[in-house]
Chains A and B, each alone.
Chain A
Amino acid sequence: EVRLVESGGSLVQPGGSLRLSCAASGFTFGNYWMHWVRQAPGKGLVWVSRIDPDGSATTYGDAVMGRFAVSRDNAKDTLSLQMNSLRDEDTAVYYCARARGDGYSRNAFDIWGQGTMVTVSS
């Protein structure tokens, strides 16, 4: 079974840091582009970041650029998101998502994890 499982979400103070993880199973993780998407409580879906299959190329949304860093360990089938200088507006459920293929499909999500909640509050 293809599966993504996020972990690491918690309550953190503004200005703090947090590291999220996403464990992949059931597919060859190192062959796929991977993304992070977030959803603030009661709101819609917002793309956060992307990483290529070998971890050499990363891209970020404007809201998190310079504060968040995505990485991956293909030997451990794990995706990570290092979140620094957290703000109230970063409060959200964070999902990792697999992209279906290459070309334009490198941005087409097919499998999502169940999400992990990050709350930024003093």
Chain B
Amino acid sequence: DIQMTQSPSSLSASVGDRVTIACQATQDINTFLNWFQQKPGQAPYLLIYDASSLETGVPSRFSGSASGTDFTLTISSLQPEDVATYYCQQYKRLPVTFGQGTRLEIK
């Protein structure tokens, strides 16, 4: 199975900060990677697909990038409504696998 490792596991930042979350795959997944946002008690919500494509309706402060097996989700200016847990997901190969999640809080 392809393992996905996210870092950090939790993060606290101030409103307006630039926030970066990393995700590393244990093997080549090209750019077959999604980023999801999950707020407490809610289903995951797609932010980024194909590693760097912004899903329709998602604010432009969210962006994704890729370099080899390393992937990054960036929030350019953190907003209070961004408090959530963020997950990466690889879809290169079954079983589909997710990172363990990064919990983002506001300072």
Could you list which residues of chain A lie within 8 angstroms of chain B, going by C-beta atoms?
Answer: 35, 37, 44-47, 50, 59, 61-62, 95, 100, 104-105, 107-115
Q: Determine whether B20 belongs to the interface, using a CB cutoff of 8 Å to chain A.
A: no
> Contact check: which of B49, B92, B94, B99 meets A59 at CB < 8 Å?
B94
Residues of chain B whose beta carbon lies under 8 Å from any beta carbon of chain A? 30, 32, 34, 36, 42-46, 49-50, 55, 87, 89, 91-92, 94-101
Chain A residues near B95: list those with CB within 8 A. 47, 61-62
Do residues B43 and A115 form an inter-chain contact, with CB atoms below 8 A?
yes
Whether A108 pairs with B43 at a CB distance below 8 angstroms is: no
Please report the number of residue pairs spanning A and B whose Cβ atoms sit closer than 8 angstroms. 58
26 pairs of residues in contact across A and B, judged by CB atoms under 8 Å: A44-B87, A44-B99, A44-B101, A45-B89, A45-B98, A47-B95, A47-B98, A50-B94, A62-B95, A104-B30, A104-B91, A104-B92, A107-B32, A107-B94, A107-B96, A108-B32, A108-B50, A108-B91, A109-B36, A109-B46, A109-B89, A110-B46, A111-B46, A112-B44, A114-B43, A115-B43
Nearest CB in chain B to that of A100: its residue: B49
Given contacts A112-B43, A114-B42, contact A107 B91 (CB under 8 A): yes
Q: Could you say which of B44, B55, B94 contacts A45, with CB atoms under 8 Å apart?
A: B44
Complex alpha-carbon distance, A110 and B53, angstroms = 12
Chain B: which residue is nearest A112 at the CB level?
B43
Complex CA gap A82/B15 in Å reads: 45
* Given contacts A107-B91, A109-B34, A110-B49, A47 and B96 within 8 Å (CB-CB): yes
Q: Among the interface residues B89, B91, B98, which one has the most CB atoms of the partner chain A within 10 A?
A: B91
When the two chains form their complex, are residues B87 and A45 in contact, meaning their CB atoms are under 8 A apart? yes
Contacting residues, chain A, for B50 (C-beta < 8 A): 108
Bound together, the chains give a CA A62 to CA B91 distance in angstroms of 17
Contacts of A95 in B (CB 8 A): 43-44
